[in-house]
Chains A and B, each alone.
Chain A
Amino acid sequence: SSGINAEYGDSINALPSRFSAMVSFKRLVQPGRIVFISSGKYAKKIAMIVEIVDQNRVIVDGPFTGVPRHQCGIKQIQLTKLVFQLPHGSKTIVVEKVWNKNAVTAKWNDTVWARKLERKRLRASMSDFDRFKVMIARQTRNRILQTFKISKMAGVRKMYKRPVKN
């Protein structure tokens, strides 16, 4: 059992080794887990799980992301890879403390997930003029790349060119 625990770290420490089926699950619904709320009133926001109500519901709190402490269905949330130490059922003040101590917002913004969301948001908020500028920028970049590639290929082609038989 120590072998498995060493590999998968803190969150699976509490599990006895007979739960080998759980090994493939890396993100668990647990207090301190950062979740992305995918639907409902607080859609597209992140929050921290504070308490597990039952198989289908959790209590979630996002003091700095505009998510009030409330009961949320597990089907409306998506687990992220971020998890921090939080005693279950903690008050919002405690959640705030943990949030600040671990710089949760900064860690979230660093993730690929958050960066993808931001990119999508920027693209959707582009005006017609912005789209034109992006088009010109892509064109300029691609032209530079193409001329570079062509010049490179010319050198390679020379190398493989068969000598002309006289």
Chain B
Amino acid sequence: WFAAVVSSVLSSGINAEYGGEKNGGTRTVPVQKSPRFYPTEDCKTPLKNRRVAKPTKLRGSIVPGSVVILLAGSHRGKRVVVLKQLPSGLLLVTGPYKINGVPLRRVDQTYVIATSTKVELPALPAIGDEIFKRKGKPTKNEKEMFVDNAGDNSYKISAEKVALQKEIDALVVPAVKKVDMLQSYLRSRFTLTKGQFPHEMKF
């Protein structure tokens, strides 16, 4: 079939005029030049990968407003409210910050125990993954390679995040306070004591 393609390509051409007595006057110039190389044998080309990644499937027990126990990180053991699932697949979670010091944070659902307790959340402002992206460290050039810049690369919370946290807290905290004892529940940490086995417990 390759020869057929080549011949079809060569047959479509422009009639171009050439000067000179012995050059034949006109000739067809192919629009597309034949390739310089082609394989001697026809080989199969692999099928094109048309896979589209599906969004991460969220556990049925996790729903916007459900209380969840964080299992890893500095906030391990804390009970926290799920706000929504972000486009990246991670859960957007907050203490609320006013109640237990957990800020707006992204968490993978595998590092979380979902409880059956749910909070009625009002309509929240739209939040995406963009505000959580950390800015990369500035790369040093050759001269500054060994100069110590007195470690000012520590992470500072942006004013935008602080404002957003206040806004979210103002919406979520009243919803939490509506339920009896829920605020003190979120303030407490989850622990296992003797005789308690997570696989036997109902959350």
Q: Which residues of A contact B (CB under 8 A)?
A: 124-129, 132-133, 136
Distance in angstroms from A141 CB to nearest chain B CB is: 15
Can you show 23 pairs from A to B with CB atoms below 8 A apart? A124-B202, A125-B202, A126-B202, A127-B115, A127-B117, A127-B202, A128-B67, A128-B69, A128-B79, A128-B115, A128-B116, A128-B117, A128-B190, A128-B201, A129-B67, A129-B115, A129-B181, A129-B182, A132-B181, A132-B184, A132-B185, A133-B181, A136-B181
Residues of B near A129 (CB, < 8 A) are 67, 115-117, 181-182, 185
| Interface of chain B residues 92 through 123 with chain A (CB within 8 A) | 115-117
Question: B132: CB under 8 A from chain A?
Answer: no
Q: How many residues of B contact A (CB 8 A)?
A: 15
A125 to B116: give the CA distance in the assembly, Å.
Answer: 11
Q: Which residues of B contact A (CB under 8 A)?
A: 67, 69, 79, 115-117, 181-182, 184-185, 188, 190, 201-203
A31 to B28: give the CA distance in the assembly, Å.
Answer: 110
Residues of A near B188 (CB, < 8 A) are 132
A127 interface neighbour in B181, B182, B184, B203, Cβ under 8 Å: B203
A125, A126, A129, A133 pick with most chain B CB within 10 angstroms: A129
A85 to B133: give the CA distance in the assembly, Å.
Answer: 77
